[in-house]
Amino acid sequence: MSVSHASVHPVEDPSTTDGGGGGNNEVPRVRMKDIQGMPGTPGGFALRIWQFVFAVVGLCIMATTSDFPSVTAFCYLVAATGLQSLWSLSLAIIDIYALLVRRSLQNYRVVSLVTVGDGITSTLTFAAACASAGITVLIDNDLDFCARNHCAQFETATAMAFISWFTALPSFLLNFWSLASR
């Protein structure tokens, strides 16, 4: 029998009858349900969309200020949210495909790749948000330079990065748990 080992494979329902009609009441093997939030599920798609939206909003707000390039932490925030938005958009497109053709993305290699990517992008986004929050507090509270800077934009972009990280964290944890439980 020639079996394909594609990354995206069809989900088959196990047969509930044995076809023999001989009173054999064996319970079919139960396939573990896809947990919402994992790749190829509506919950996973929703998380990817929210990750993308918050990362893009933070990126656009920070990029529209004229003096963000003068602070390294703000440049790091722009780079990290840009990477987060690209990663989330690409996985959202894959999730749309999997949902439309009713395919499962629970292949070990796919889940491993998504887990590593989620871990890297969420760590970078969190680190950039923390660094930007530190600079924003320094500018606002310690130096009292908010009259001459775009403090409201800096704070909003930093908050959007934190929210983007907060929506990326469940994706990473669910995928990591899925790998660990195999």
* Cα separation, 153 vs 166, whole angstroms: 20
pLDDT per residue over 119-144, tens digit each?
A: 999 999 999 999 999 999 998 888 87
* 35-87 pLDDT, tens digit each: 787 888 899 999 999 999 999 999 999 999 988 898 899 999 999 999 999 99
Q: CB of 134 within 8 A of CB of 25? A: no
Q: What is the pTM of this model?
A: 0.77
